[in-house]
């Protein structure tokens, strides 16, 4: 999967679970994305060595797994994903789940992902 750009020149990528759009990538210590998870989609169970994340739910209900514990996050609420924590987000609903992700750390490349489980055959096991 190779990211493309939208009409404003921002990085955009469609994934098996939905899509993301990079809203801000100018700073050295953080990156901001809008992530849309399709109905019944979920991201891989993963961790990052060089970044933590903060997720603010805009619409839909996020079922977030943090180190094997599931938490529901409703619109208008947020959850932190500490550095090194195994995590995933799932949309069990019938409408898209949209959240804003603020990554903070020292590196934000898509190659800073260790996948432990993935519905689409991308796990690192």
- Residue 50: its pLDDT value, please? 98
Q: How many CB atoms lie within 10 A of CB 37?
A: 25
Range of the domain at 95: 12-117
This prediction has a pTM of 0.92
Residue 22 belongs to some domain of the structure: yes
CATH number of the CATH domain containing 75: 2.60.120.10
pLDDT 10s digits, 91-104: 999 999 999 999 99
Q: What's the CA gap between 68 and 88, in Å, rounded?
A: 9
Q: What's the CA gap between 105 and 125, in Å, rounded?
A: 25
pLDDT at 17 over 60: yes
In a 10 Å sphere around its CB, with 0-12 CB exposed, 13-18 middle and 19+ buried, how is residue 106 labelled?
exposed
Residue 5 belongs to some domain of the structure: no
Residue 7 belongs to some domain of the structure: no
Residue 125 belongs to some domain of the structure: no
Q: What's the CA gap between 81 and 85, in Å, rounded?
A: 6
Residue percentage of the chain with pLDDT more than 70? 97
Residue 4 belongs to some domain of the structure: no
Q: How many domains does the chain have?
A: 1
Residue 1 belongs to some domain of the structure: no
pLDDT at 65 over 70: yes
């Amino acid at each position: 999967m190779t990211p493309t750009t939208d009409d404003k020149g921002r990085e955009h990528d469609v994934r098996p679970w939905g899509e993301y759009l990079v809203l801000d990538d100018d700073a050295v210590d953080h990156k901001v994305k809008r992530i849309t998870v399709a109905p019944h989609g979920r991201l891989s169970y993963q961790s990052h060595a060089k970044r933590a994340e903060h997720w603010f739910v805009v619409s839909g209900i996020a079922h977030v797994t943090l180190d094997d514990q599931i938490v529901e996050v409703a619109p208008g609420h947020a959850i932190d994903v500490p550095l090194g924590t195994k995590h995933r987000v799932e949309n069990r609903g019938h409408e898209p789940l949209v959240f804003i992700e603020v990554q903070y750390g020292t590196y934000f490349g898509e190659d800073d992902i260790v996948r432990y489980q993935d519905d689409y055959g991308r796990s690192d096991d």
